[in-house]
Structure 1
Amino acid sequence: MVSQLAEHPLSEQLYPLGIGYYQLARGHEMRREQHDDFLLIYCLEGSGRVEFGTRGKRRIIRPGDLLVLPRGTPHHYWTDHKDPWSIYWIHFDGSLSQTFVDQLAIDPQSPLLSLGIHSRLVADFEAVLDMRQARHHLGSYLHSANQLRQLMTHIALLRPLAKLQQDEALDLEKVHSLMQARLHEQLDVETLAAAVSLSKYHFIKKYKTLTGTTPINHFIQLKIERACHLLDVTNKGIKEIAWAVGYEDAYYFSRIFRKMMGISPTQYREIRLGGSSYRS
């Protein structure tokens, strides 16, 4: 199967060699002087140690850490005896393996990326893990190879966000949770900034660096997403839906909705009910 993946045009650039999930793996340890593929280890709980390179540098592995060991890196890793880790692991190869690893911008002094625990990343690992049920069916393995591409690019996306959050101490989860809780009303930047103990100026700057947009624009987007949901699943009128997402003026709400969605709330509902189409 590996030979087929290495030759198939849909998988030759990146494909998994093996994958697993070890839960509370007391006593787990591995030493390799010769390492001829690429390895990812994502720690969900517990802790461990890794010794890597010809000089045997050591690092502690904690929950949320991703260990990335490129081809040719001698290594020795082991779980903590008193606090055994739970980890996902993937060995992989392919003609673009090094390119995908390079995209992660790993510090040459450390093979660890402190990403934090992300449910969507866990879901990515689980999706590739489903390969174990493939029963050596090539189509399933091709699918897993392309899921591995998605996982690697997802890590690359999380990498700068995690670093900025660590360096800049901006808790996006806290900000977005507050936004979600206040969708039915208005919310100003000062309130959001105060929630994470930052000045308005520094909050806007850090938020935009992390997300590519402003906090208010994101808040409006969440409101419109909520409005779309209400248009989909309820019979409420446009004025009621406007009130439900914090707009007292239904006409103003409709203008914001059109600006975000390209159509009016009424047109959106007609399309969703099959009474119109996006081309009309």
Structure 2
Amino acid sequence: MQQLAEHPLSRGLYPLGIGYYNQAAGHHMERVEHDDYLMIYCLEGAGLLQVEGLKYSVHAGDLVLLPKGVSHSYRALKSRPWTIYWAHFHGEDARAFYEHLREPRQSAPLLLTSLGFQSRLAGDFEALLELRESTYNLNAYICAANQLRQILTHIALLQPLMRNRDKAESVDLERVHSLMQAHVHEHLSLDTLAQSVNLSKYHFVKRYKELTGTTPINHFIQLKIERACHLLDTTGNSINEIGYAVGYEDAYYFSRIFKKIMGVSPSQYRSMRTGAYAYRGGGPR
């Protein structure tokens, strides 16, 4: 990380560690000395946070930002363990971002804000995780640093919108789409999506289609294929590995779904980068 701390394109803000915990039962942490900045975005469940003796509850849709130098502890709620993205970061601009995001006149030594379920924000975290898994070189690190900057600036845009949002919205699409983004690498049932917005499966599908023009499962598949295209474009992973990374254990079935959406097979799609295969059109991307 010394390279990032010194490079002019990353020294302002750079990640030290990033991750994703799914229903993290038993997850807990305590730090008496904290020498970097910590961000937690809770997608599901709940957790308990204590900062310099003050206690807070963290619920689905909440974002926590802790500055360096504050003692703290946190843990997942036993009855409803949280699902979270997290990132430790530092840099010359880290303090300025923290102060920029804090609520006006907030005296507590942290930011705790409700953003709701933001699909784009979840997607940004997923992109940051992908960079963590990419080839470890300076360019990948610099890209991750600027992806982190994008996440923090996006949060600044979301805060006033969330304060003024309509609480009576019948279907929280951001909640649904955030769950899809968070689970794009695995299976996600229609029952789980419907339960997330407190609707029966029938009424959920009906309302979702009225709002979006498609079904929730079709949209989820579309997200998986978009992620697969990104992996085909940016990695040398095999077709089997990419299918598995987006939740398809059967490579043949993955190829069928991919071709149905894209009009070409995964291998043909990858060949288009080198000109070995000419794209002649297909389904919507």
Q: Name the structure 1 match of 2:98.
A: 101
Q: Name the structure 2 match of 1:267.
A: none
Q: Does 1:81 align with 2:44?
A: no
Instruction: Give the 3 Å change call, closer, same or farther, for CA 172–102 of structure 1 in structure 2.
Output: farther
CA distance in 2, matches of 1:133, 1:16: 13
Q: Name the structure 1 match of 2:229.
A: none
Kept after mapping to 1: 8 A contact 2:101/2:111: no
1:129: Cα distance to partner?
Answer: 1.0
Q: Name the structure 2 match of 1:10.
A: 9
Q: Name the structure 2 match of 1:131.
A: 131
1:130: Cα distance to partner?
Answer: 1.3
CA distance in 2, matches of 1:160, 1:88: 22
Instruction: Give the 3 Å change call, closer, same or farther, for CA 24–169 of structure 1 in structure 2.
Output: closer
1:173: Cα distance to partner?
Answer: 7.6
The counterpart of 1:90, out of the listed 87, 112, 136, is 87
Kept after mapping to 2: 8 A contact 1:13/1:96: yes
Kept after mapping to 2: 8 A contact 1:128/1:144: yes
Q: Name the structure 1 match of 2:256.
A: none
CA distance in 2, matches of 1:170, 1:51: 31
Q: Name the structure 2 match of 1:71.
A: 68
Aligned positions of 1:133-212 closer than 5 A = 133-165=133-165, 169=167, 171=169
* Root mean square deviation of aligned Cα: 1.9
CA distance in 2, matches of 1:169, 1:122: 21
Q: Secondary structure at the match of 1:103?
A: helix
Kept after mapping to 2: 8 A contact 1:51/1:57: yes
1:170: Cα distance to partner?
Answer: 6.9
Q: Name the structure 1 match of 2:177.
A: none
Q: Name the structure 2 match of 1:44.
A: 43
Kept after mapping to 1: 8 A contact 2:64/2:111: yes
Moved over 4 A (4+): 168-174
- Amino acid in the other structure paired with 2:90: D
Q: Name the structure 2 match of 1:191.
A: none
Deviations 1:79-130 (A, max 9, x none): 0111111000000000000111111124333531111010000011111111
Kept after mapping to 2: 8 A contact 1:134/1:141: no
1:172: Cα distance to partner?
Answer: 10
1:132: Cα distance to partner?
Answer: 2.0
Q: Secondary structure at the match of 2:101?
A: coil
CA distance in 2, matches of 1:173, 1:14: 36
1:135: Cα distance to partner?
Answer: 3.3
CA distance in 1, matches of 2:107, 2:170: 28
1:158: Cα distance to partner?
Answer: 0.4
- Higher Cα radius of gyration: 1
Q: How many equivalent residue pairs?
A: 170
Deviations 1:201-221 (A, max 9, x none): xxxxxxxxxxxxxxxxxxxxx
CA distance in 1, matches of 2:168, 2:157: 17
- Amino acid in the other structure paired with 1:36: D
**Percent identity between the aligned chains?**
48
CA distance in 2, matches of 1:5, 1:91: 14
CA distance in 1, matches of 2:22, 2:154: 23
Q: Secondary structure at the match of 1:60?
A: strand
CA distance in 2, matches of 1:169, 1:62: 16
1:146: Cα distance to partner?
Answer: 0.5
CA distance in 1, matches of 2:170, 2:69: 37
Q: Name the structure 1 match of 2:58.
A: 61
Kept after mapping to 1: 8 A contact 2:132/2:144: no
Instruction: Give the 3 Å change call, closer, same or farther, for CA 144–57 of structure 1 in structure 2.
Output: same
- Amino acid in the other structure paired with 1:133: E
Q: Does 1:112 align with 2:112?
A: yes
List gaps (5 residues or longer) in structure 2.
Answer: 173-285
CA distance in 2, matches of 1:172, 1:82: 27
1:40: Cα distance to partner?
Answer: 0.3
CA distance in 2, matches of 1:31, 1:164: 35
Deviations 1:120-155 (A, max 9, x none): 000111111112213321101100101111000000
CA distance in 2, matches of 1:111, 1:152: 12
- Amino acid in the other structure paired with 1:122: A
